[in-house]
Amino acid sequence: MNEFDVIINGGGPVGMGLAIELGQRGIRTCVVERHGVPQKIPKGQNLTQRTGEHMRAWGCAEGMAAAHPLPPDAGIGGQTLYKTLLSDHAHEWFNRGSVGAYYWGRNQRIPQYKTETVLRARAATIAEVTIEYGWSGEALEQDGDGVELTIGDGQNRRKLRGRYLVGADGARSAVREAAGITQTRTEHDRLMALLVFNSTELHELLQRYPGKAIYKVLHPDLEGYWLFFGRVDHGTSWFFHAPVPPGTTKENFDFKAMLHRAVGQPFNLEFEHIGLWELRVAIADHYRAGRVFIAGDAAHSHPPYGGYGVNTGFEDARNLGWKLAAVLAGWGGEGLLDSYEAERRPVFASTAKDFIERYIEKDRQMLAEFSPEKDMKAFLAAWGERAKDTWDVEAFEPNYEGSPIVDPVEGATPSAIGSHLHDARAGHHLSPQNLADGTPVFEALGPDFTLLAADPRSASVFEAAARKLGLPLKTVAELGEEAIAAYGSQTILVRPDGFVAWTGDSVGDAGAILSRAIGGVTPTPAG
């Protein structure tokens, strides 16, 4: 029987990202993935600046830049339109560039199968990562020391054993089911179509909207749900999703006519893929069952409204990865593993409620109340107000305030709603600044915890406390006046995932601060 520290069932983007995170930290990891090659469906394309940070951390930034299918000057912005793609009523939408200054990465538009190709290539270079292509997890058993996963390839069965198992195996997760983790679902009672097609004529029609790559059409008949077009490349390939009538099949529905209606005129096109799925929001009631964890779509799933899916999954991987590695290395406490659910589950619940479902309902109400046919002046006023609404980008700042492993904030709870600020705040993502010598802070951060300090004395106090805990801590005592002013603090403890664990202008009880950040580990007694 093959034995590993961590087994990951599912080698899509989340599973492979997690494998890289663990492998880079010296954790013996096995990925079980049934598909030998990525599935060529262009989903999961809107990658945020935060995902750009993950790609840097995983050694994938150059590969991702090379995989970008759009010309550098093509633009990846969005456009919202009324009734048809060629409507006279249109406004810009989803300008993620407006929050770019708060991240050490850039947003990109890359089809998921290209992202997976980059991640697979990187994982293959890491000696600690073993990948079993063509196999799927079928059954699991866990005890106090580890988890045994039975895998099959359709003809043969084998057993793997790991100290921990992670299910990153999608919305129909076999690991989640086998571990007895239940879900809470919100059914939207909508059957959705996903169409992938080629059309140079559509590219020509949309030259009227330069710099745009995604297009959201709001039609009153759809009650807040979208007709959504997205570029896969710059000139030929497209994908589209929209609600279709109940009972629709690939054989009984005219998908070409639906596209013509959505655009506003006939155009030439050739289909590459037609798929159907049921629109729902689902969240696992727990993200952990003993030594079994779930991540990505296995833990949460939702309609592709706003590009939250794969980005949320990558954050799961980054969050869980360093915590598993810390516990396996002996310096992380059990509370660290419990904090994965405590931090990540409320963030997704907020994402679903406050961003996805909120905007569906908001659009439903606006479209029911206003239309050019009823009152053009009132419609234009409402449309104009909608055009000014940038809350979905500016307020989406996932944070872990209230987490058990960050400096406490009374009454707070982790949420997707926050504020983009340069201030260093416990539970929030650290913004990029420069050290006194001009070095970018993110280039100075270590792989584990990092203490940013204004003077060596504070650094030495934390170094001594870290040694007692067995905690690998890098200290950077070179915060200059500009960074201190931007961060609003002279001493900042940064977690391995780039989130702030604690800030202060005085050292305080360094041992207690570090102990909380690593899950309640107590110092080793002197002597």
pLDDT digits (tens, 9 = 90+) for 251-269: 999 999 999 999 999 999 9
The pLDDT tens digits of the residues spanning 423-457 come to 999 999 999 999 999 999 999 999 999 999 999 99
62 and 206: one domain?
Answer: no
Based on the fold, state whether residues 157 and 25 are members of the same structural domain: yes
**pTM for the full predicted model:** 0.96
Examine residue 414 and state whether it is found in any structural domain, yes or no. Answer: no
DSSP string, 115-154: HHHHHHHHHTT-TTEEEEET-EEEEEEE-SS-EEEEEE-S
* Spatial distance between the Cα atoms of 16 and 221, rounded to a whole number of angstroms: 40
Q: Which distant-in-sequence residues (6+ apart) come within 8 Å of 218 by Cβ? A: 80, 81, 82, 83, 224, 226, 227, 363, 367
Q: Are residues 302 and 428 in the same domain?
A: no
> What is the CATH classification number for the domain harbouring 503?
3.40.30.120
The mean pLDDT value for 150-156 works out to: 97
Choose between 379 and 97: higher pLDDT.
379
pLDDT at 306: 84
Instruction: Indicate whether 234 and 326 sit together in one domain.
Output: no
Which has the minimum average pLDDT: 42-46, 111-115, 400-404, 495-499? 42-46
Contacts for 83 with CB less than 8 Å, ≥ 6 apart:
89, 217, 218, 219, 220, 264
Residues 61 and 97 both lie in one domain: no
Query: Is residue 398 assigned to a domain?
Result: no
pLDDT category at 14 given cuts 50, 70, 90 is: very high
Q: Which CATH number fits the domain that encloses residue 145?
A: 3.50.50.60
* Residue 186 DSSP one-character state: E
pLDDT per residue as tens digits for the range 59-96? 999 999 999 998 888 889 999 999 999 999 999 998 88
pLDDT of residue 280: 87
Question: Is residue 30 domain-shared with residue 147, that is, in the same domain?
Answer: yes
Who has greater pLDDT, 436 or 97? 436
Residue 396 lies in a domain: no
pLDDT > 90 in the chain, percent: 91
Expressed in percent and rounded to 5, the helix, strand and coil fractions of the chain are 35, 25, 40
- If asked whether residues 162 and 44 sit together in one domain, one would say yes
Contact yes or no for 336/327 (Cβ under 8 A):
yes
Sign of CA dihedral 198, 204, 205, 206: positive
Give how many domains the chain has, as a whole number: 3
**What pLDDT is stored for residue 307 in this prediction?**
84
Whether the CB-CB separation of 234 and 381 falls below 8 Å is answered with: no
**What are the structure tokens assigned to 51, written together?**
């995902």
What do you get for the CA distance between the two ends of the chain, in Å? 41
Task: Kindly state the helix (H) or strand (E) to which residue 484 belongs, with its residue range.
Answer: helix 481-487
Let me know whether 16 and 138 are in one domain.
yes
Is the pLDDT assigned to residue 56 strictly greater than 60?
yes
Residue-averaged pLDDT of the chain: 96
In this structure, what CATH number is given to the domain that contains residue 94?
Answer: 3.30.9.10
Cα 375 to Cα 389: distance, rounded to the nearest angstrom = 22
Residue carrying structure tokens 């600690």 = 128
Same domain flag for 197 and 58 = no
How far is residue 359's CA from residue 203's CA, in Å, rounded to a whole number?
A: 28
Domain range enclosing 14: 2-69+110-182+285-332
Q: Which residues contact 376 (CB under 8 A, 6 or more apart)?
A: none
pLDDT number for residue 525 = 56
Per the domain annotation, does 338 fall within a domain? no
In the structure, what pLDDT confidence band is assigned to residue 275 with cuts at 50, 70 and 90? Answer: very high
| Residues 486 and 441 reside in one and the same domain | yes
Q: Measured between alpha carbons, how far is 368 from 219 in angstroms, rounded to an integer?
A: 10
Nearest to 403 by CA among 351, 335, 350, 489: 335
352 lies in some domain: no
Contact at 8 Å (CB) between 193 and 248? Answer: yes
pLDDT at 15 over 80: yes
Assigned domain for 405 exists: no
Q: What is the pLDDT of residues 219-240, one digit of tens each?
A: 999 999 999 999 999 999 999 9
Q: What local confidence, expressed as pLDDT, does residue 524 receive?
A: 61
The pLDDT-based confidence of 527 (bands split at 50, 70, 90) is very low
Instruction: Return the sign of the alpha-carbon dihedral for residues 360, 282, 23, 406.
Output: positive
Give the pLDDT confidence score for residue 523 in this predicted structure: 66
Same domain, residue pair 116 and 243:
no
- At 228 the pLDDT is 97
